Amino acid sequence: MRAFLWRRGDWEPGTTFPPPEVADGEVIHLIADGESPVNALSLESIEELERALDEIAGETGVRAMVISSAKVGHFIAGADIDEIGGITDPEEATRLATLAQEVFGHLGRLPFPSFALIHGTCLGGGLELALGCNYRIAVSSPSTKIGLPEVNLGIIPGFGGSQRLPRLIGVAKALPLILAGSRLPAEVALRRGIVDAVVPPEGALGIGLRAVKKIVEDGGAQVAKQRLRHRGGWRHRLLEGNPIGRALLARGARKQVLAKTGGHYPAPLAAIDLVVPAASRTLGAGLAVEAKVVGLLAVGPVCKNLVRIFQASERARKYSGPEEGDRGRWPRPGFLGVLGAGVMGAGVASAALDRGLAVRLRDIAEEPLSRGLAQIAGDVRQQVERRRRSALEGEEILSRLTHGTEPIGFGRCDAVLEAIVERMDVKQRALREIEPQLRDDCLFLTNTSALSVTELQGSAALPERVVGLHFFNPVSRMPLVEVIAGRQTAPWAVSRTIGLAQALGKYPVLVQDSPGFLVNRLLMPYLDAAVRLLESGVPGPVIDSAAKRFGLPMGPMRLIDEVGVDIGVEVAETLHAAFGDRATPSTFLGRLVEKGWLGRKTGVGFYRHPQGKGSTVWNEGIGGCIDSPRRALAEAEIVAALIDPMVDEAARCLEEEVVSSAETIDLALVMGTGFPPFRGGLLRYADTTGLAEIVARIEGSDSERTPSSLLAELAQEGATFYGPNAMTVDVV
Amino acid sequence: MASDVAVVAGLRTPFARAGADLDPVPMRELGRAVTRELLDRTGVDPATIDEVIFGCAGQPADTANPARVIALRSGIPEEVPAYTVARNCASGMEAFTQGVEKIRSGRAQTVLVGGVESMSRFPLQYPRSFAQKSASLARARNLAEKLIGVLAYRPRDFKPVITILEGLSDPTTGEIMGLTAERLAREFSISRDEQDAYALRSHQRAVAAREFLAGEIAPVAIPPLYSERLGVDVGPREQQSLAALAKLRPYFDRRNGTVTVGNSCPVTDGAVALLLMSSERAKAEGLRPLGRVLGHAYRGLDPLRMGLGPVHATVPALKEAGVSLADLEVIELNEAFAAQVIACARAFGSKSYGESLGLSGAIGELDFDRLNPNGGAIAVGHPVGATGARLVLTVLRELERRGGGLGLATLCIGGGQGGSVVLEGMPS
């Protein structure tokens, strides 16, 4: 079977296409119709394109060639990620890049002009192919997304993109697009000069062909003028038109990248080095360097880790759960009821409204309900103010919201989520109160972070519909949700909940109903380790900055402040009760609670959080609570002390089948806590560090924790979490 | 056989004086909020609705066909058609009776009807002369023509037309509604004291009924902040007194008048939605109706005596229903003006007025105990396009509380008409 198919001809019959003014055979239509549903580019498909071009180049009477896609929603979504992930030899990657550069270059050197008609995703290799064409026409539809997101996968645009884009639109415009990996809609791509024309989606082929004809007839003069405008001007000459300007440009970009990545990611820096001189050296020279650099990056550990996390996230995004039939499908857009208008409830409501769902929000009292509504309206207003939504779109979003203080009006809901206080009896009462009016296929979801879903099911008339759906705060920014099946939860209910999470744009991970579920359970030993380091005399800011330099978005003390010190104590006690000695929490947090230092919400915790402007500073009062003399500890030792207990706890989660695989744990920590993705996740990192060392360190420490049997076993055998015998289990 | 029409459920927004609490809420949002809440509470699948009809007297330029906008914003599928009706003060009642007729004729099984008005949002207009001069200025081709165009403006061209005043005036005679009430006060010799006493009663009853009325109100979140919800009518005043009312000067006829802003209804914002079904459909859906429709009618009369419209329309409506005035447990007669309500009461009881309508004698006595038992528009307010539907809702809820019986919803209509609906309530 052929992996990719470049189809010739067949203008759609029965449509107005081709328009009468275009003679038969004048315009060759090449259709990308690969085996991959998104037209992902593989080595094979590029070779095939080469053969097709050789054939076409010899034809006579041809005035233009148009490349389009047969896939709905996709032009060419990019290079085959699995292929990139599998490359181990830099030479091989360089060879592939060189081939693609040549074939795409051939597109622009045919005896007649070539056009890419872009409808749907045109990313990475897809855009690089289009950049090889002489002209690009984009279809203005919501599915059209144009960009070069390679740096997000630890590589650079390696099929000519890092050279051809800056040559087309200028370095100053190309660089931010490549560094951010932005995905532009058709109209924006036109404004930036990446495409030369935009056509409407209805009858796009026909109208596109008219645009082709116009360009062919004037020999591209109009487009050439247009492109000059994008590159010209005094700013251009001042900046990228001379070596000093270019050096400035590179320095600014480098500074920004380092501030954002801490230097952990080589790809953006490599991109700067490639893109900035692109317009001032020959294309051939630039392409040669590009191919070489992409080869090196593609086999580097950062690229491998980012690709793995991406693949895991794609699996989570597409996972349908245990019930694949209609019953297990979330009815999009859907109607979500939310009980409790606190920060969490309103946050979920807001995210749901943003994603097109209808929402009914209930709180038992007027005041918290209004506060929740104000939070939602504030989110929408912000979107409108930032021009991400029009005023009418904002009105439409809020028009899907209803609200009330009475337990009525949930009869049409597809799911009701409770986000009320973390008390079993209160949650049980809410369930019993609301359940009689629910349809039989309506889910009852609990956003608990610690209580047992199975226990809650005891109060349900239809326990099979009760599922845990644990969001993280702030809902709009945290991409992870934990889906928790209780003992009596039906497979259809699990699948529907997963579908809902996906409809909300989240990555669901399936977790067993056990204390702390996954993420909180893993975070607690990490936070406790940080507090114990502090108590032993290591200064708090030093601990936090070690964690940040490791790649975490914030240090553990800062995280406790954000979550709330009292909440931290509460969760730690729950987990202590569940897991015994190894989870005995330090009493230190309790002393902060006594002082009323609860973190950001009270303005003081480990840090002082000034209201409004002013930066957060370490709370010097903490020093007075510490008896040990100040001591210095190497950064690596701090990191090890923080991470090791997490690794052990993660091993226990695997042992107890809390989650199905090491991959799930890694994805959950990256998406739920910001664990540095370039490290590939917690267990990938542990594998890299060496499990034997981790075991030795845990055994050598004075904590109550002893290595779990799985961890000890793996270490003993010299094995890894991701080894050939890595375990995978069914959670449901 | 004609289908029996059941009123399945109804809700309204709180009513608030124009320019006050609901001023920030656009008309379509008032209609949307109440419609979605009604759909949520009934649990009816919006796809089963056959038609959406809303009454609106002053349709804003940015919301042509408000019913369609409200339907789409309420999540009612695109396939369900919607239209807007206007019969001045009876626009909401007209929407209701059209829904009734659609079901009676078998053309529809489920109809969502209602009324909506944001009198806060009645625009100020540029005068016609301004528009004409601006148009010719826009056509000017050279500097001289432009200069001439600019110089053509006169101060009066910039004086705004207050459309709400235009809307509240009779279009054929130019007389503002308040003056038609003054005419009835003179003709039926209704004193200022009588009017003020009636107005006070309206406030007292509405205040006493706050809790009861809350049951028909869907709270509205106030944009842009959404930081508060309005769940009660703003109009009814606990502190209202005869002394306070007596202090007010006549508003429409400063010299000889008796009609004040205290004994008239205020201009108001608000919306109402009602769900109608054929009895069979309601039964199939397992819904317990609030009541059913026995008859309805509209009649025209002298525009300058438009306040007597309820008398004219009630006679044929009662006849269609086959009942008499005395059979009615509850009557909601819209309080446009206290003078106009009292005039109606006198006309109902008048032998000669009855004879002038071709009857053998008086229509019947209007029992003030059964009239507007929860207060009326003087206290609650009168969002013109919404009121007709509000009267139906309030009658049915009051009948439900009393354990059933017959009721009447009727109002006078600017331009010289009256509308009446006879209803049968169901016990809860």
Beta bridge partners of B409: B332, B421
Distance CA B251, CA A630 (A): 83
pLDDT computed for residue A22 by the predictor? 60
Torsion, Cα of B305, B308, B309, B314 (10° steps)? -160
User: Mind listing the pLDDT tens digit for each residue in A413-465?
Assistant: 999 999 999 999 999 999 999 999 999 999 999 999 889 999 999 999 999 99
pLDDT computed for residue A57 by the predictor? 85
Could you identify the residue written with the tokens 């009815």? Answer: A331
pLDDT computed for residue A355 by the predictor? 97
The pLDDT of A205-230, averaged and rounded, is 90
Q: Is A542 exposed, middle or buried (0-12, 13-18, 19+ CB in 10 A)?
A: middle
More confident residue, A7 or B367: B367
H helix count then E strand count, chain A? 30, 19
Residue A478: its H or E element: none
CB B54 within 8 A of CB B35: no
- pLDDT surpasses 80 at A19: no
pLDDT computed for residue A727 by the predictor? 53
DSSP single-letter state for residue A100: H
Residue A403 contacts B, CB cutoff 8 Å: yes
Distance CA A236, CA A250 (A): 14
- pLDDT surpasses 60 at A358: yes
Amino acid identity for residue B177 in this structure: M
Q: Which residues of A touch B66 (CB under 8 A)?
A: none
The pLDDT of A159-182, averaged and rounded, is 95
Residue A436 contacts B, CB cutoff 8 Å: no
Residue B36 contacts A, CB cutoff 8 Å: yes
The pLDDT of B299-327, averaged and rounded, is 97
Residue B45 contacts A, CB cutoff 8 Å: yes
H helix count then E strand count, chain B? 16, 14
User: Mind listing the pLDDT tens digit for each residue in B186-212?
Assistant: 999 999 999 999 999 999 999 999 999
DSSP strand pairing (B291-300 vs B5-12): antiparallel
Q: Which residues of B touch A370 (CB under 8 A)?
A: 221, 226-229
Amino acid identity for residue A625 in this structure: C
Helix (H, G, I), strand (E, B) or coil at B268: strand
**Closest by Cα among B344, B399, B333 to B371:** B333
CB A68 within 8 A of CB A75: yes
CB A500 within 8 A of CB A478: no
Distance CA B344, CA B349 (A): 9
The pLDDT of A706-729, averaged and rounded, is 85
Does the distance separating the beta carbons of B75 and A370 come in below 8 Å? no
Task: Count CA within 13 A, CB hemisphere, residue B259.
Answer: 27
Q: How far is B73 from chain A (nearest CA, A)?
A: 6
User: Mind listing the pLDDT tens digit for each residue in A388-401?
Assistant: 999 999 999 999 99
Q: Average pLDDT of chain A?
A: 92
Listed in sequence order, the DSSP H helices in A518-600 are: 519-535, 540-550, 556-563, 565-579, 588-594
User: Mind listing the pLDDT tens digit for each residue in A656-681?
Assistant: 999 999 999 999 999 999 999 999 99
Helices A221-231 and A161-169: crossing angle in degrees, nearest 10, is 90
User: Mind listing the pLDDT tens digit for each residue in B268-311?
Assistant: 999 999 999 999 999 999 999 999 999 999 999 999 999 999 99
Q: How far is B75 from chain A (nearest CA, A)?
A: 7
pLDDT computed for residue A693 by the predictor? 96
Residue A61 pLDDT grade (very low, low, confident, very high; cuts 50, 70, 90): confident
DSSP strand pairing (A64-69 vs B405-413): unpaired
The pLDDT of A498-509, averaged and rounded, is 97
Write b or e for each residue in B222-261: b if 16 or more Cβ atoms lie within 10 A of its Cβ, otherwise e. bbeebebbbebbbbbeeebeeeebeeeebbbbeeebbbbb
- pLDDT surpasses 50 at A348: yes
Distance CA B334, CA B204 (A): 16
- pLDDT surpasses 70 at A24: no
Other Cβ atoms within 10 Å of A202 Cβ, number = 9
Does the distance separating the beta carbons of B29 and A369 come in below 8 Å? no
Does the distance separating the beta carbons of B36 and A399 come in below 8 Å? yes
Does the distance separating the beta carbons of A412 and B37 come in below 8 Å? no
- pLDDT surpasses 90 at A586: yes
- pLDDT surpasses 70 at B396: yes
Which range is most confident: A97-111, A605-619, A713-727? A97-111
State yes or no: is A470 an active-site residue: yes
Q: How wide is the angle at C-alpha B82 spanned by C-alphas B78 and B83, nearest 5°?
A: 150
Distance CA A215, CA B396 (A): 70
The pLDDT of A293-308, averaged and rounded, is 96
Residue A730 pLDDT grade (very low, low, confident, very high; cuts 50, 70, 90): low
